[in-house]
Structure 1
Amino acid sequence: MSSTRKRRVFPFTSVIGQEEMKLALLLNVIDPRIGGVMIMGDRGTGKSTTIRALADLLPAIEVVEGDPYNSSLEDPDLQSNDVRERIDSGSDIQKGEKQVPMIDLPLGATEDRLCGTIDIEKALSEGVRAFEPGLLAKANRGLLYVDEVNLLDDHLVDVLLDSAASGWNTVEREGISVRHPARFVLIGSGNPEEGELRPQLLDRFGMSVEVRTVREAKLRVQVVDQRTAFDNDPESFSDSVQEKQESLQQKVVDAQNILNEVFIEEDLRLRISAVCGELDVDGLRGDIVTNRAARALAAFEGRKEVTEEDIARVVSTALRHRLRKDPLEQVDSGDRVIKAFCKVFERNESDDVSEFELATAN
């Protein structure tokens, strides 16, 4: 891990509690194709702190020096058109290094601010495409965080989700078109009391987690003490957990490297789809995300084969937000997922709920 940091943020390994949220974030970093995380819950539960800590935890990325899109030196899918043209023509490309970008999307952002804008006057007068990159360009190869996503204009959410799914952003105006890579981990958060997200948009997020305020007095005191210690002396506090940070960072890098080698048996894939069928989940996103999340979890733990326990640990976060809501039903959607999982995998429900809770706390 680089010793020179541009920003001092609270260390990821020191975040107390919220294990389900931390695991979902790590799995999405290991495999961004999972599709991002929607975090719903109380205010002041450390959502923003944890996400910034995740960006700080990740190793620096190699970029093309001076490129506004954080273009990769090797992967064409992560390169802007300008960089690709320079490579094709044999021009000299300077290598740079950059902290993984973590971009905040403010609630009042316009579509031009998000997607970028084309300077029509310059294009017409000088005959050049003058494109001012937006937040999607800056977020390429990083994290894009939208707080209070349930209060964001629906058309902006549509743009975000489309870019997150395709990995590209296209801006078209007055016959001029600009396309650039926009591959990022989309993280949304919100408070259900302030409005629900439309089901068809919620379904587009790979995973969904619910965070609650810590009620236990000892844990609350521990959280306050740690935050106070960090605020008083960020350098010393960060140095004290540096070894843990480096260990977790290496674990994530190793998982990314072996992810494509992780195997999931056909019987387990069939059972995952059976759980989705039992829950009457629309479409196939639930099946795909559960498979990907289980593989990412196995890779995170250094294994190349998915187990039943891996599925147990991710199935609720992958499916709970895809269930049809019944306003008269008192059962939590996560409990419904666990019940269906136990039925399909032929496990004792009362035992399995406690095992599931223990698994998500690891």
Structure 2
Amino acid sequence: MNQTNAHIAADNDEYWAYISAHFPTPTSFTNLENAYCGMLSQSVMAALQRYQTEINVETSYFLRTRLHDRLDEVNNKLAEFCGIAVDELLITRNLTEALHILLRAYPFNEGDEILYANADYDSVQQLVEDIASRKQLSTRIISITSPLLSDEDIVKAYENAITENTRVIMLTHLLHRNGQIMPVAKIAKMAKRYKVDVIVDAAHSFAQLNFQLPDLESDFIGVNLHKWLGAPLGTGLLYVRRQRIAELTGSSKARLRSLIPTGTFSPAPVMAIVDAIRFHQSIGTRNIEERLRHLSQYWLQQVCHMAAIKHHTPVDPKRHCAIIAISISGIPAQEVVDYLMQEHQIFTVTRTIEDQEVVRITPHIFTSKSDLDRLVEGLRQLIEEKQSFSSQLHEHEHDQKETNDTYPRTVSL
């Protein structure tokens, strides 16, 4: 993604406070669950409202005379941002819809196999299984959730799982469970040697990490625009490399848009994609990635000495960015989430890795270090309270045992 401005230091808190002022601030809680959907900047929100008003006033006149040119502007700007050609993209409502369109159109043969991982997004896993059932395909699932696995280990795990029937690997670029960045380009290059296509879920990596879509070495990529780009809810993207479009459409002349039914839709969120890109580029993707990583490391370094906390995200900062997953020994993840919200008004969420629930913590560029200081203090207080309670309980049980031992035991006569 284009770097459009000078480098801004990740620890330049004065600059990032200026950026934070461009976002609305919740008054009742601190949001550290920014991985689900992004917050619109004030300029994007104003644009969205302006477009909606314009459409509401002009109604069918707008849709019949203005909309086509406005959509061309969106597609051109988005294609430039992604580093692809306009005819290689299709705007969708979200990533899941994009992958659904792709998998339905992909030229599978009966008996083909789709390979995916247990760490992939739950709805994507379900989508793969549904498509496999409809098209009489098989699926193979591998485990890559251990943060101790190196990139080389992960590439090898996928390679070892490929069989003669494997046609497609469904691959997540940045895992939503623990924030781990997957070596997508390396896996895609490896898969090509076996004539296996890689379909990339770039929901969380897009606009959080500094890359353009061709960098992933995949012919098929799905994206959410409502997360880290900060476009309105209801906007996503499907990318298909030009040379592969005919395989999906069945015609060398058909466009990607032929894969979805045409009809009336709400244009305002789509039109606001342009404003989201402009705001994003005014800061710079590289600067955003570095700031998010800096914020994650800021709070993580303050809790790494706490023996009760286990990290489920790779230690190497280059292998994750904004999203971190932790657990606390002896305290269920949901209890941690509830405590942080009830006692410190900090909103977080649980996620599942294998069979264990973890706490996912995700700052955004508008998050302040004081917000993260309160998170650290909340975790520290929770651990201390639990340890104190456990110690008191142990002493009570010990005293009770000594009391019982002072009385004669009942004997049978």
TM normalised by structure 1 equals 0.31
TM normalised by structure 2 equals 0.28
More helix by share: 1
